[in-house]
């Protein structure tokens, strides 16, 4: 079971809900656990089949976490 985004097979193609800007993949959420743990707790707790990536909008810098399906 690997994440295709982590391994470079796929690129995340998400757009910002606020401004429609392109969102950059900042890597796995776990790498940012300390900084973001305040509000990310329990978001995807039950879904072990997803690799969580932190995305940041290139325009307004809003961030969000998305679960990438692991195959």
Binding residues vs Zn ion (CB under 5 A): 3, 5-6, 16, 18-19, 21, 51, 57, 59-60, 62
Nearer to Zn ion, 18 or 33 (CB): 18
Least separation, in Å, of the C-beta of 34 and Zn ion?
A: 18
Burial of residue 44, with CB atoms counted within 10 A of its CB: 0-12 exposed, 13-18 middle, 19 or more buried: middle
Place of tokens 């690997």: 2
CB of 46 to Zn ion, least distance (A): 18
Tell the residue number behind the tokens 């295709």, with chain if given. 4
CB of 53 to Zn ion, least distance (A): 6
8 Å CB contact between 14 and 23: yes
């Amino acid at each position: 079971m690997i994440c295709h985004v982590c391994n470079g097979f796929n690129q995340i193609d998400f757009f910002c809900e606020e401004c429609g800007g392109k969102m950059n993949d900042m890597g796995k959420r776990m790498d940012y656990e300390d900084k973001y743990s305040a509000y990310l707790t329990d978001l995807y707790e039950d879904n072990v089949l997803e690799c969580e990536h932190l995305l940041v909008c290139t325009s307004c810098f809003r961030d969000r976490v998305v679960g990438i399906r692991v195959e």
